[in-house]
Amino acid sequence: MFKAIHTDNAPAALGPYSQAIQAGDFVYVSGQIGIDPSKGEVVDGIEKQTKQVLANLQAILTEAGTDFSKVVKFTIYLNSMEDFATVNEIYGDYLTEPYPARATVEVSRLPKDVLIEMDVIVYTK
């Protein structure tokens, strides 16, 4: 059994998908980009986009009754690996040990030409 998770505190889906799906003991959160949900606009720069992505993820996790401490896997998509150190530093401020597994990849283009996108998998038990 599974259910869709939705909050107005994160950007609405840009297509036919859910912000997140809870399936059993797992929550799968769709990729989030640096859109400020109160304005519907992408914030500027890698630092602000990274913080906004993490805020959007947190809003969805809160709606699902969980938080970053239960994340088991992050995937980070970067427009440029030149931003890796900056993203890594900001990302680290949101997490505690044991840190989740993670993949970080450079991609040629992201929705709305943003600089970063992240998705997560959460184990709720």
Give dist(CA 69, CA 125) in Å, integer.
11
Res 16: pLDDT: 93
For 6, the 3-state DSSP assignment is coil
Res 14: pLDDT: 81
Alpha helices in 33-102 (DSSP H): 46-63, 84-92
Q: Dihedrals φ, ψ of 112, to 5°?
A: 60, 20
**pLDDT tens digits, the chain, 125 residues: what are they?**
899 999 999 999 888 999 999 999 999 999 999 999 999 999 999 999 999 999 999 999 999 999 999 999 999 999 999 999 999 999 999 999 999 999 999 999 999 999 999 999 999 99
Cis peptide before 98 (omega within 30 of 0): yes
Give dist(CA 18, CA 15) in Å, integer.
9
For residue 74 the two structure tokens come to: 């992050």
